[in-house]
Amino acid sequence: MTAIKTIGIIGNSTKANAADCAVELAQWLEARDICVLFEQEIADVTGNPGVERHELAGRSDLIVVFGGDGTLIGAARYAAEKEVPIVGINLGAFGFMTVVSLSEMYETMERIISGDYTVSKRMMLDACIAGEDYTALNDVVISRGSQSRMIYMETYVNKQYLTTYKADGLIIATPTGSTAYSLSTGGPIVFPEMNSIIITPICPHTLTNRPIMISQDATIDVLLLSVEKKASVTVDGQVLKILHTGETVSVRKSRRSVNLVNSPFHDYLEILRTKLGWGG
């Protein structure tokens, strides 16, 4: 493990205790001779000097995220480019990626700065949407949006025709994203360190259109054939684009990946059971 000398802190400023927690952790780290950088959004709330997110990733050996999975996903796109590990401190009620609670934070950080930690390497997706490029940790979702009718999506895998989905939409997800939107539409739960791509239709007109898992090396092309003339495309629920009839979304495994620090107290199966309420 690389020695950790500088830690970047990102926080969801809309969370009531995010700023206080960030400042308290920063003071604790600085007392242990760790340099701390605040991302600009949380710095504006705490009154500390801040740096932009892309700069933070380049200058940090580790990034700590205060918030929920959405906050972590937003940070992941920057951290992945620099291969900086991320640890998520959960300030919300639910989170598959922000796996460290506030009560566990200091003991977890003690282990991390001493080098006693492991990471889970998570694959990402590259999506080309009508000629524009984006990267996703969870999923790329094509949906009918505000349109009243189902949309038609002619779908190919490695240039071979799969089917034309007539549905409310289509989810193309990573294993990490298998417990997000894809799960709510009937998709499978896939262990996050597996490398595969999941295609899940949303409310398909034909009930035999089932979720399908394909190779990590595949390229998926989805051509919009819709009488409504357009559809919505979201990347990790954070980037929204409009797709017009005749335009294509192409998705493949990214060369980037995200290194998420594992909880030293809870394994993935325990997190899965807890978050989904199994056995209760």
Residues annotated as catalytic (active site), given as ranges: 69
In whole angstroms, what is the distance from residue 17 CA to residue 59 CA?
Answer: 25
User: What is the pLDDT, as a whole number, of residue 96?
Assistant: 86
Q: Which domains does the chain have, with CATH numbers?
A: 6-118+262-276 (3.40.50.10330), 124-255 (2.60.200.30)
Q: Which of 81, 98, 103, 76 is nearest to 21 (CA)?
A: 103
Question: DSSP secondary-structure letter at 187?
Answer: P
- To the nearest 10°, report the CA torsion of 71, 20, 265, 273: -50
In this predicted model, what pLDDT tens digit does every residue of 82-128 receive, in sequence order? 999 999 999 876 678 988 999 999 999 999 999 999 999 999 999 99
pLDDT of residue 211: 96
pLDDT single digits (tens) 198-228: 999 999 998 899 999 999 999 999 999 987 7
Question: Is there a contact between 22 and 46 (Cβ–Cβ < 8 Å)?
Answer: yes
- Give percent above pLDDT 90 in the chain: 77
